[in-house]
Amino acid sequence: MTTSTAIAAALSVLGDASSITVLTGAGMSAESGVPTFRDVQTGLWAKYDPMTLATPEAWQENPALVWAWYQRRRAMLTAVEPNAGHRALATWAQSADVRVVTQNVDDLHERAESSDVVHVHGSLFACRCDTCGREHDAEVTDPESDRLSPPGCECGGLVRPGVVWFGEMLPKNAFAEATIRAEACDVFILVGTSGVVYPAAGLPHIARGAGATIVEINPDETDLSDACDITIRSTAAVALPALVDSLTTNG
Protein backbone atom coordinates (compact mmCIF):
# COMPACT_ATOMS: atom_id res chain seq x y z
CA MET A 1 0.00 0.00 0.00
CA THR A 2 1.45 3.37 -1.01
CA THR A 3 1.51 6.29 1.41
CA SER A 4 -1.21 8.15 -0.48
CA THR A 5 -3.40 5.02 -0.57
CA ALA A 6 -2.86 4.45 3.15
CA ILE A 7 -3.76 8.05 3.96
CA ALA A 8 -6.93 7.74 1.89
CA ALA A 9 -7.86 4.55 3.73
CA ALA A 10 -7.19 6.22 7.10
CA LEU A 11 -9.30 9.23 6.12
CA SER A 12 -12.17 6.90 5.26
CA VAL A 13 -12.30 5.29 8.71
CA LEU A 14 -11.49 8.48 10.59
CA GLY A 15 -14.29 10.35 8.87
CA ASP A 16 -16.80 7.91 10.36
CA ALA A 17 -15.18 7.67 13.80
CA SER A 18 -16.85 9.12 16.87
CA SER A 19 -13.81 8.72 19.11
CA ILE A 20 -10.10 8.51 18.31
CA THR A 21 -7.28 7.59 20.67
CA VAL A 22 -3.69 8.39 19.71
CA LEU A 23 -0.69 6.68 21.32
CA THR A 24 2.57 8.55 20.72
CA GLY A 25 6.10 7.28 21.21
CA ALA A 26 9.69 8.43 20.92
CA GLY A 27 9.49 8.95 17.16
CA MET A 28 6.94 11.71 17.71
CA SER A 29 9.32 13.74 19.85
CA ALA A 30 12.41 12.87 17.82
CA GLU A 31 11.17 15.12 15.01
CA SER A 32 11.35 18.04 17.43
CA GLY A 33 14.97 17.25 18.18
CA VAL A 34 14.31 15.99 21.69
CA PRO A 35 17.67 14.96 23.13
CA THR A 36 18.29 11.26 23.57
CA PHE A 37 20.26 9.66 26.39
CA ARG A 38 23.27 9.84 24.09
CA ASP A 39 22.84 13.59 23.66
CA VAL A 40 22.78 14.12 27.40
CA GLN A 41 25.85 11.97 28.04
CA THR A 42 28.36 14.58 26.89
CA GLY A 43 30.79 16.78 28.77
CA LEU A 44 30.74 16.13 32.50
CA TRP A 45 28.05 13.45 32.01
CA ALA A 46 30.13 11.35 29.57
CA LYS A 47 31.43 9.10 32.34
CA TYR A 48 27.96 8.00 33.48
CA ASP A 49 25.78 5.21 32.17
CA PRO A 50 22.25 6.68 31.94
CA MET A 51 20.73 3.30 32.73
CA THR A 52 22.32 3.47 36.18
CA LEU A 53 20.89 6.93 36.86
CA ALA A 54 17.25 6.15 36.01
CA THR A 55 16.59 3.80 38.93
CA PRO A 56 15.14 4.06 42.46
CA GLU A 57 18.43 2.63 43.76
CA ALA A 58 20.45 5.47 42.20
CA TRP A 59 18.11 8.01 43.81
CA GLN A 60 18.47 6.40 47.22
CA GLU A 61 22.26 6.25 46.89
CA ASN A 62 22.92 9.70 45.43
CA PRO A 63 19.89 11.98 44.92
CA ALA A 64 22.07 15.02 44.13
CA LEU A 65 23.66 13.19 41.18
CA VAL A 66 20.32 11.95 39.82
CA TRP A 67 18.61 15.33 40.31
CA ALA A 68 21.43 17.14 38.45
CA TRP A 69 21.18 14.72 35.52
CA TYR A 70 17.43 15.11 35.26
CA GLN A 71 17.70 18.88 35.55
CA ARG A 72 20.11 18.76 32.61
CA ARG A 73 17.55 16.76 30.63
CA ARG A 74 14.77 19.19 31.58
CA ALA A 75 16.89 22.16 30.54
CA MET A 76 17.69 20.57 27.17
CA LEU A 77 13.99 19.94 26.55
CA THR A 78 13.11 23.58 27.05
CA ALA A 79 15.27 24.38 24.00
CA VAL A 80 13.08 22.37 21.58
CA GLU A 81 9.59 23.10 20.28
CA PRO A 82 6.51 21.02 19.39
CA ASN A 83 6.52 19.93 15.76
CA ALA A 84 3.75 19.98 13.17
CA GLY A 85 2.50 16.59 14.37
CA HIS A 86 1.99 17.82 17.94
CA ARG A 87 0.21 20.92 16.67
CA ALA A 88 -2.00 18.91 14.30
CA LEU A 89 -3.26 16.72 17.16
CA ALA A 90 -4.05 19.79 19.27
CA THR A 91 -5.94 21.38 16.37
CA TRP A 92 -7.84 18.16 15.63
CA ALA A 93 -9.03 17.85 19.22
CA GLN A 94 -10.79 21.21 18.94
CA SER A 95 -13.34 19.75 16.52
CA ALA A 96 -13.33 16.00 17.26
CA ASP A 97 -13.09 13.56 20.17
CA VAL A 98 -9.34 12.95 19.96
CA ARG A 99 -7.60 11.73 23.11
CA VAL A 100 -3.84 11.51 23.51
CA VAL A 101 -1.88 8.87 25.40
CA THR A 102 1.89 9.22 25.32
CA GLN A 103 4.88 7.13 26.28
CA ASN A 104 7.04 10.27 26.15
CA VAL A 105 8.14 12.08 29.30
CA ASP A 106 8.42 15.51 27.65
CA ASP A 107 5.77 18.24 27.67
CA LEU A 108 5.56 18.88 23.91
CA HIS A 109 1.92 17.82 23.60
CA GLU A 110 0.95 20.27 26.33
CA ARG A 111 3.05 23.05 24.82
CA ALA A 112 1.26 22.44 21.51
CA GLU A 113 -1.95 23.06 23.52
CA SER A 114 -3.25 19.51 23.73
CA SER A 115 -5.21 19.10 26.94
CA ASP A 116 -5.80 16.07 29.15
CA VAL A 117 -2.75 14.14 27.92
CA VAL A 118 -2.14 10.81 29.67
CA HIS A 119 1.54 10.15 30.39
CA VAL A 120 1.86 6.42 30.98
CA HIS A 121 5.60 6.70 31.73
CA GLY A 122 5.33 9.86 33.80
CA SER A 123 6.65 13.32 32.97
CA LEU A 124 9.91 15.15 33.51
CA PHE A 125 7.89 18.21 34.40
CA ALA A 126 5.56 16.62 36.97
CA CYS A 127 7.85 16.37 39.97
CA ARG A 128 6.70 14.93 43.27
CA CYS A 129 7.90 14.15 46.78
CA ASP A 130 9.64 10.80 47.12
CA THR A 131 8.01 10.27 50.52
CA CYS A 132 4.46 11.65 50.60
CA GLY A 133 3.89 11.89 46.84
CA ARG A 134 2.85 15.55 46.89
CA GLU A 135 3.22 17.29 43.52
CA HIS A 136 5.80 20.08 43.25
CA ASP A 137 6.64 22.74 40.67
CA ALA A 138 10.42 22.53 40.50
CA GLU A 139 12.34 25.30 38.75
CA VAL A 140 14.30 24.14 35.69
CA THR A 141 18.00 24.88 35.94
CA ASP A 142 20.99 23.71 33.90
CA PRO A 143 23.48 22.56 36.53
CA GLU A 144 27.12 23.57 36.27
CA SER A 145 28.29 20.39 37.98
CA ASP A 146 27.16 16.78 38.26
CA ARG A 147 25.74 17.34 41.72
CA LEU A 148 22.69 19.45 42.58
CA SER A 149 20.70 18.99 45.77
CA PRO A 150 17.00 18.36 45.06
CA PRO A 151 14.40 20.59 46.71
CA GLY A 152 12.85 19.44 49.94
CA CYS A 153 9.22 18.77 50.71
CA GLU A 154 7.35 20.01 53.80
CA CYS A 155 7.11 16.40 55.00
CA GLY A 156 10.89 16.06 55.07
CA GLY A 157 11.17 14.08 51.83
CA LEU A 158 12.95 15.09 48.63
CA VAL A 159 11.42 16.26 45.35
CA ARG A 160 12.13 13.69 42.63
CA PRO A 161 11.54 13.61 38.87
CA GLY A 162 8.03 12.50 37.93
CA VAL A 163 9.17 9.83 35.49
CA VAL A 164 8.86 6.06 35.77
CA TRP A 165 12.27 4.64 36.59
CA PHE A 166 13.51 1.21 35.58
CA GLY A 167 12.05 -1.27 38.02
CA GLU A 168 9.05 0.90 38.93
CA MET A 169 5.39 0.25 38.16
CA LEU A 170 3.50 2.52 35.77
CA PRO A 171 1.24 5.12 37.42
CA LYS A 172 -1.96 3.14 38.10
CA ASN A 173 -4.38 5.96 37.37
CA ALA A 174 -2.61 6.90 34.14
CA PHE A 175 -2.55 3.39 32.73
CA ALA A 176 -6.13 2.76 33.83
CA GLU A 177 -7.23 5.85 31.92
CA ALA A 178 -5.12 4.82 28.89
CA THR A 179 -6.88 1.44 28.92
CA ILE A 180 -10.29 3.12 29.08
CA ARG A 181 -9.36 5.26 26.08
CA ALA A 182 -8.19 2.20 24.15
CA GLU A 183 -11.40 0.29 24.89
CA ALA A 184 -13.71 3.20 24.04
CA CYS A 185 -12.31 4.44 20.69
CA ASP A 186 -13.41 3.64 17.15
CA VAL A 187 -9.92 4.23 15.75
CA PHE A 188 -6.63 3.77 17.60
CA ILE A 189 -3.62 5.51 16.05
CA LEU A 190 -0.02 4.54 16.83
CA VAL A 191 2.45 7.35 16.14
CA GLY A 192 6.22 6.90 16.32
CA THR A 193 6.22 4.01 18.78
CA SER A 194 8.35 0.91 18.33
CA GLY A 195 5.85 -1.32 20.10
CA VAL A 196 8.44 -3.07 22.25
CA VAL A 197 7.79 -1.46 25.65
CA TYR A 198 5.01 -3.14 27.59
CA PRO A 199 2.45 -2.74 29.01
CA ALA A 200 1.93 0.38 26.84
CA ALA A 201 2.51 -1.68 23.69
CA GLY A 202 -0.49 -3.79 24.67
CA LEU A 203 -2.91 -0.86 24.31
CA PRO A 204 -3.49 -1.32 20.55
CA HIS A 205 -4.32 -4.98 21.17
CA ILE A 206 -6.87 -3.90 23.77
CA ALA A 207 -8.35 -1.44 21.28
CA ARG A 208 -8.45 -4.05 18.53
CA GLY A 209 -10.18 -6.50 20.86
CA ALA A 210 -12.84 -3.86 21.51
CA GLY A 211 -13.47 -3.47 17.79
CA ALA A 212 -11.32 -0.45 16.92
CA THR A 213 -9.50 0.02 13.62
CA ILE A 214 -5.74 0.28 14.21
CA VAL A 215 -3.74 2.82 12.20
CA GLU A 216 0.05 3.06 12.38
CA ILE A 217 2.07 6.15 11.44
CA ASN A 218 5.75 5.27 11.36
CA PRO A 219 8.43 5.43 8.65
CA ASP A 220 9.73 2.03 9.80
CA GLU A 221 8.18 -1.38 10.37
CA THR A 222 7.61 -2.12 14.05
CA ASP A 223 6.69 -5.02 16.27
CA LEU A 224 3.07 -3.85 16.07
CA SER A 225 2.84 -3.40 12.29
CA ASP A 226 1.29 -6.83 11.74
CA ALA A 227 -1.51 -5.97 14.16
CA CYS A 228 -2.43 -2.77 12.30
CA ASP A 229 -5.22 -2.46 9.75
CA ILE A 230 -3.69 0.55 8.01
CA THR A 231 -0.02 1.50 8.00
CA ILE A 232 1.19 4.91 6.84
CA ARG A 233 4.92 4.80 6.20
CA SER A 234 5.61 8.42 7.05
CA THR A 235 6.57 10.57 10.02
CA ALA A 236 4.23 12.25 12.47
CA ALA A 237 5.12 15.77 11.35
CA VAL A 238 4.17 14.88 7.76
CA ALA A 239 1.28 12.42 8.07
CA LEU A 240 -0.70 13.96 10.94
CA PRO A 241 -1.03 17.43 9.38
CA ALA A 242 -2.08 15.80 6.09
CA LEU A 243 -4.79 13.78 7.84
CA VAL A 244 -6.01 16.62 10.03
CA ASP A 245 -6.05 19.19 7.23
CA SER A 246 -8.22 16.88 5.12
CA LEU A 247 -10.56 15.99 7.98
CA THR A 248 -11.05 19.53 9.27
CA THR A 249 -11.40 21.02 5.77
CA ASN A 250 -13.90 18.45 4.56
CA GLY A 251 -15.60 17.85 7.89
List residues with catalytic annotation: 121
Contact yes or no for 45/146 (Cβ under 8 A): yes
Backbone angles phi, psi at 202, to 5 degrees: -85, -10
* CA dihedral angle for residue 59, residue 64, residue 68, residue 71, rounded to 10 degrees: 70
Partner residues linked to 158 by β-bridges: 152
> What's the CA gap between 237 and 223, in Å, rounded?
21
Q: How many residues are recorded in the chain?
A: 251
Q: How big, in percent rounded to 5, are the helix, strand and coil portions of the chain?
A: 40, 15, 40
DSSP-assigned letters across all residues of 141-182: ---SSS--PPPBPTTS-BEEEEEPPTTPPPPHHHHHHHHHHH
> What's the CA gap between 193 and 87, in Å, rounded?
18
CA distance to 8, 139, 140, 211, per residue, from 188 (Å): 16, 36, 34, 10
- Look at residue 53 and give its three-state secondary structure: helix
